Amino acid sequence: MAALATAEVCDANTGLLASGDLRVLHPGFKIYGRSRAFFGPIVTLKVFEDNVLVRELLETRGDGRVLVIDGGGSMRCALVGGNLGQIAQNMGWSGILVNGCIRDVDEINGCDIGVRALASHPLKSNKKRVGEMYVPIHIGGTLIRDGEWLYADSDGILVSKTELSI
């Protein structure tokens, strides 16, 4: 992967930032996983304290995509753990963004993917298979659509309407 620098992407794309075609996510996400920088087309998922659909999506071929999970910002349980991190790595996902919590941090930190989440929490989620895949979601006031592109590094997270040259 080419060197990714979200700060440079922002500097080079002021017009896209002004139009809203490039958005910066709020800076509340913690960095997990071995890939400090990652990018790819977005697959959206909206769930609340239930990770059955998370597993279903991560068990499909990732092909360098990024799973963006709107977990409603819940801090009461984890939506992704070490097993799902390993599945994501094995299936070729570039990364996972969780508007919520993860667990098994040491296991996830051993995976060759990028993971961003609000925090860690030891409690696992419900298993009811409730949620919506491939729908527009809002995270921290930012609209994110299925098929857009996510770019993440140590400085932050960008969402672009289209693929950018990096």
Is 21 marked as a binding-site residue? no
- Amino acid symbol at 15: G
Which tokens is 102 given?
């993860």
Is 28 marked as a binding-site residue? no
| Rg of the chain (C-alpha set) | 15
DSSP one-letter code for 72 = T
* Dist CA 162 CA 140 (whole Å): 20
CA distances from 94 to 12, 144, 158 (A): 24, 17, 15
Is 82 marked as a binding-site residue? yes
- Amino acid symbol at 109: N
- Amino acid symbol at 80: V
Chain-centroid distance of CA 166 in Å reads 19
Is 76 marked as a binding-site residue? no
A 10 A CB-CB count for 146 gives 15
Is 164 marked as a binding-site residue? no
Is 126 marked as a binding-site residue? no
Enumerate the known binding-site residues.
81-84, 103-104
Enumerate the known binding-site residues for substrate.
81-84, 103
Enumerate the known binding-site residues for Mg(2+).
104
